[in-house]
Homo-oligomer: A and B are copies of this chain.
C-alpha cells in the first residue's frame, strides 16, 4: 500500500461560472441558419441544465451576420423564470442601444489586441474601437446593465502571430478605464498554451484590481481544456464554452470551435470545481445540435458519456480497448 499522502496540486477555486456562448459565438458562422424558435429551444434547454449566464445573440449588422439577424426576436423569447442573465454582444453604440432596448441583462463588447485583426475583423482601428467601447459602456451603465469587455486575439493573432503580453495589458488598462463589471481574455484563434494563460491572467489581475476575470478558449489546436485548467489556477471566476463545442470555421468543417460546455463540465466535475450545471443534460443536446446544424459537433461527452461504467452484460468491448490493453 502507498505510504504517500495525496500530493498537493495547484490551488483551484471551489466554483466557477460557465458562460454559454453557443447561441452567439457557436452559431454565428454556421452555414445553416437556425430558426429563432430553434435557438430559443436551445436556450431553454441550456437554462434547464443549470446555465446561469448565456450569450444569447449579437447586435451587429444583419447583412454582416445573417445568423444573428433575429437578435431582438431571440431576446423577446428567452425564458425569464430561471434566473438566467442574458448577454448581447455589441460592437458599437448603435448595437448597445439595441441590446438595451431588447432587454439584455448584460452588454458585452470586444476590443481586439492587434491592429491588423481589428481592422480585418471589426473594420476599425484599435483606437476607434476603444473610443466606441467608452460610449458603449456609458450606454450600458446608463441603462443599469451589467457590462463586460473581452480582449480578443489576446494570445495570438492570425496576422501578427504571438501577441506581446504588455500590449494586451496596456489595452486592458485602457478598457478598464470605462469601468466594466468583468474583463475577459479570448484565445480567439485557439493558439494559446497553459503557461501563457497563467502568465497573462496574472498580469491582467495586476491591473484589474478586484474586477472579475473571465477566459474564452477555442480548442482549435487541442489546447483549450488544458488552458481552461490553467486559467482556473490563475484567478478566473468564469469560463466561456459552447454546447457541443460549436463555433468552428465554416471553411474547415473538421476544425473545432469553442471548448464544449459538456466536456468542460466533465473536467470541472472531476477537478471538484462546482459549476451548478448538469453535464449529462448539456451532453444530451449534442445529437439535437448535430441534427439542427447538419454536421457532427466536436464535443466528445455526447459520444463518450459521463459514466465510466459500462454494463458488464454489454457484449461489445468497452471503449475500443480490446483486443489489447492501454
- Interface set of A (CB-CB < 8 Å, partner B): 1-4, 6-7, 9-10, 12, 24-25, 28-29, 58, 60, 64-65, 68, 89, 91, 110, 112, 116-117, 120-122, 150, 152-153, 156-162, 165-166, 169-170, 184, 186, 188-196, 198-199, 201-203, 205-207, 216, 219-223, 225-226, 228-230, 233-234, 247-252, 254-257, 259-260, 263, 266-267, 270-272, 296, 299-301, 303-304, 307-310, 312, 316-326
Contacts and interface: CB of A to CB of B under 8 A. Distances in A.
A189 B308 contact: yes
A199 B7 contact: yes
Contact of A1 (B68, B160, B169): B169
Query: How many copies, total?
Result: 2
A199 B9 contact: yes
Contact of A309 (B12, B150, B160, B308): B160
A138 to B, nearest CB: 21
Most buried by B among A64, A162, A194: A194
Contacts of A4: 169, 202-203, 205-207
A271 B223 CA distance: 11
Contact of A120 (B220, B249, B260, B322): B322
Contacts of A160: 309
Given A7-B234, A226-B229, A270 B319 contact: no
Given A266-B221, A267-B223, A190 B304 contact: yes
Contacts of A229: 194, 226, 229-230
Given A159-B309, A308-B158, A308-B191, A65 B226 contact: no
B150 A300 contact: no
Contacts of A254: 296, 303
18 contacts: A1-B166, A2-B207, A7-B203, A9-B233, A25-B324, A28-B324, A29-B322, A65-B323, A68-B324, A150-B326, A159-B309, A186-B325, A193-B267, A219-B222, A220-B319, A223-B267, A223-B270, A249-B319
